[in-house]
Amino acid sequence: MSLLIKGADLAGAGAGDLLVRDGVIVEAGAVSVPADAEVIDADGLVALPGLVDLHTHLREPGREDAETIASGSAAAAVGGYTAVLAMANTSPVTDTAEAAERVAELGQRAGLVDVQPVGAVTKGLAGEELAELGLMARSRARVRVFSDDGRCVADARVMRRALEYVKAFGGVVSQHSQDPRLAGPDACCHEGELSGRLGLPGWPAVAEESIVARDVMLARHTGSRVHVAHASTAGTVEVLRWAKAQGIAVTAEVTPHHLVLTTDLLAGYDPTFKVNPPLRPAEDVEALREALADGTIDAVATDHAPHARHDKEHAFVDAAFGMLGLETALSVVSDVMVRSGRLDWAGVARVMSVSPARIAGLTGHGRPLAVGEPANLTLVDPDATVTIDRQASHSLSRNNPWHGRTLTGAVHGTVLRGRPTVLKGALA
């Protein structure tokens, strides 16, 4: 059995067919239809290497009422993803080889995307002692990305040791950059005029920027790789630009919501828009778009953070942080970056597949759409308009900030190792 994708625009490089057999692209260009082939008519669609999300919260184990690895995998596939990195802040925390292997195994069982566990940097995310980074790296889960996401590795000495240690196995530390001492424990939004008016305790932008600055210097000192998770401020962009110009091994991601949504949305105290790092003012959003377009920011990552309804129905400061993102990321990037001409589809492939896979060390993803390469790919209808409905979700949660918005560009299909997981926007 083979799969023929007919007439797709190959990442913006002109139309062509792709013939897939045994999970591998075996022919490209003008391909005649083999007798046994399942054919996807991709006329008018753009084919991208399968999307890779560097930053997903799947909530299993511990909060399976909000999301399971299976439900999150379904949401990811529908969103065009073929691989996701599952963050470590589950309960229990993914800070051992066994925990990491269990996550990977549940991902394989769901079978819709490759679920690659992220290991905690420190035991229990406590920020004090290194977790068993080496054992996680050498486990069957082959962990390469380590993060205490949700918390910053604030202790410079611990961060230094982590950066040094992961060099042994080509790992990378993904940092939630946020100095906890520069804001109180109740901080819940961007610190600025609006937080002043609303009486909400905020994080100043410098809480993020100072950690990013420190970490790039630590990366230079250790000769290791650091990754800045969910960059959110113009100041962070400036530091990244400087660090990259110095040749320091730093990479960074931005979320779809930080590319569009601004702190003004908090005026009504709607916890749907409560996210960590917080939504920032328009000038930060503009700086992030520019940085993504020019390569200062390497990747788009969703920070998909599902929450049960009752965890959001509290007073704003008490409500949970986070918003959904897997199913809408491609549409948001298409709408804000492609339509405006800031990125072409090859650029989208770079920031949503090629770079994330490279950063995460995933060798089977983010590959060119060429003969001999694994057939992980995403088909996008660039002209489709979608109105986001929070009820129409494969996630178990409904904290969708895009509800009611109409976006241009939608995932049509997803193929994982030659097998369609999504066709015409629905699970295959």
Partner 1 sequence: MRHLLSMRDLDRDGVLSILDTAASMHDVQRREVKKLPTLRGRTVVNLFFEDSTRTRSSFEIAGKWLSADVINISGKGSSTSKGESLRDTVLTVAAMGVDGLVIRHGASGAAAQVSQWVDAVVVNAGDGTHEHPTQALLDAYTMRQRLGDLEGRHVAIVGDLTHSRVLRSNLICLRTLGARVTVVAPPTLMPSGIATWAATDGFETAYDLDEVLPHVDAVMMLRVQRERMSGGYFPTAREYTVGYGLTRERLARLPEHAVICHPGPMNRGLEIAADAADAAQSLILDQVSAGVAVRMSVLYHLLASSGAGTAEGSVA
Interface contacts to partner 1, rule CB under 8 A: 184, 191-202, 204, 268-269, 310-311, 313-318
* Residue 369 annotated as lining a ligand binding site: no
To partner 1, the closest distance from the beta carbon of 207 in angstroms equals 12
To partner 1, the closest distance from the beta carbon of 309 in angstroms equals 8
To partner 1, the closest distance from the beta carbon of 315 in angstroms equals 3
* Residue 304 annotated as lining a ligand binding site: no
* Residue 310 annotated as lining a ligand binding site: no
For this structure, is 303 an active site residue? yes
To partner 1, the closest distance from the beta carbon of 403 in angstroms equals 15
Which of 234, 248 has the CB closer to partner 1?
A: 234
Which of 199, 341 has the CB closer to partner 1?
A: 199
Peptide bond into 368 cis (omega under 30): no
Which of 36, 264 has the CB closer to partner 1?
A: 264
* Residue 176 annotated as lining a ligand binding site: yes
To partner 1, the closest distance from the beta carbon of 270 in angstroms equals 8
Q: Which of 95, 303, 335, 381 is catalytic?
A: 303
Q: How far apart are CA 289 and CA 344, in angstroms?
A: 13
Which of 319, 410 has the CB closer to partner 1?
A: 319
* Residue 307 annotated as lining a ligand binding site: yes
* Residue 276 annotated as lining a ligand binding site: yes
Place of tokens 């790296």: 137
Which of 190, 412 has the CB closer to partner 1?
A: 190
Catalytic center residues:
303
Positions at the binding site for Zn(2+): 55, 57, 149, 176, 230, 303
